[in-house]
Amino acid sequence: MNGGDSKDDEEEREQVMSEVHLGCPPGICGPHISRFTICLPSGVESSRFNGLFKEEESCTDQEISFDEDGDLILPRRRQISRRCFTMKIQHNITSPIPSVGLQVWNAELILSDFVLHKMCTSMEFHGIVSLELGAGTGLAGMLLAHAAKTVFLTDHGDQILENCLKNVQLNSGVLNHQKVVYVRELDWTHPWPPKVSSDLATQERFSWSSSELEEVQKASLLLAADVIYSDDLTDVLFGILERIMSQGSEKVLYLALEKRYNFSLDDLDVVANGYLNFRSYLKDDSECEGLELGSLPCFMGKCIDVAEIPQYVGGYDRGDDVELWEIRYSKGKL
């Protein structure tokens, strides 16, 4: 057995858990269905989605207070009206590292907040074609489907793809847009666009049809969440991004990530795996223009202030290590 095989076996044995799942029932090994409540934040109005956000009332306790004599004033419950809906997401509570797409992660929730805010406050995502890379449970892409024309949720491995498809089916009644959501296999190490099987009898469940490939080539929006956690994966990601974004019309990628710090024997320091490599691929506008007067291709990245994005998805803590990036690709003049 070589060193690579040993590393793969270790990753298969090691179980990891997203902090989003801390409230889930203990001792569950298989799939679990969680309900995520999506609410319009205060001050945000979106009449275009009245059919999605429903009025509901919830009770909240007022703070305990005392009168001037020091006697306790019994609080009364207040009724608060909110406009909400619920998404059902099937996920694993733990998984080996190669199957982390079976879990819900903070970066996926912040990307969902961003998508919802864009949908509710602008027409930017209305009627577009979108491609999500490493879609995992599919939450962000399914939310986008309420505004987009077509959404392709892509990932790698039958187990993750089956789980993603199950989530599309679980939420088809909420979004009523199941027909525009496709769950498809996308191996980042393979050429783009993917091959089409001409033999219908051998065509796999998550393979691409020629009409779907024609449609996905029109994609103007790319999404990705929590796909930065190793240098090797980051290299492969930017390889497929270059192949996709260098073809056809201009595209923008919104990528959410969470920096996870671990002690590195190579660096003898605590580092965020994959993050420095991720940043090494990105230039700002002025740097791209300076590369032989813009003649060389490059990725242009801008970090978005997540504090300016209201929280739509309830029940999670964003923390301080989640970032959201807007990334574009300059093809250069050569």
Tokens 């902090």 sit on residue: 19
Q: What number of H helices and E strands is found in the chain?
A: 9, 17
- Tell me the per-residue pLDDT of 43-57, one tens digit each, with 9 for 90 and over: 898 777 877 888 875
The residue count of the chain comes to 334
Whether 18 and 97 have beta carbons less than 8 Å apart is answered as no
Return the number of other C-beta atoms located less than 10 Å from residue 310's C-beta. Answer: 17
Structure token pair of residue 146: 């309420």
DSSP H/E element including 269: strand 269-272
Helix (H, G, I), strand (E, B) or coil at 228: coil
Query: C-alpha distances in angstroms, 53 versus 14, 70, 329?
Result: 40, 43, 35
Architecture per CATH, domain 97-329, reads as 3-Layer(aba) Sandwich (3.40)
CB proximity list for 21: less than 8 A, separation 6 or greater? 34, 91, 93, 94, 103, 104
CA distance 206 to 212: 12
Q: 218-263 pLDDT, tens per residue?
A: 999 999 999 998 899 999 999 999 999 999 889 999 999 999 887 6
Phi and psi, residue 243, nearest 5°: -65, -40
User: Would you say 150 and 170 are in contact if contact means Cβ atoms under 8 Å apart?
Assistant: no
Output the six-digit token pair for 274. 């994959």
Return the residue matching tokens 């076996």.
Answer: 9
| Among 312, 34, 323, 16, residue whose Cα is nearest residue 167 | 34
The residues, any chain, with a CB within 8 Å of residue 56's CB and separated by 6 or more, are: 81, 82, 83, 84
pLDDT number for residue 17: 87
Q: What is the pTM of this model?
A: 0.86
Instruction: Phi first, then psi: give them for residue 81, nearest 5 degrees.
Output: -95, 130
Q: What's the confidence (pLDDT) of residue 305?
A: 97
The two three-digit tokens of residue 49, written as one number: 């989605």
CB-based contact 300:328 (threshold 8 Å): yes
| Residue ranges of the chain whose pLDDT lies below 70 | 1-13, 22-23, 29, 57-81, 176-179, 197-203, 263-268, 285-286, 288-295, 333-334
Query: Which of 154, 113, 108 lies closest to 131, judged by CA?
Result: 154
Cβ partners under 8 Å of residue 262, min gap 6: 270, 271, 272, 273
Question: Can you read off the two tokens belonging to residue 42?
Answer: 């205060």
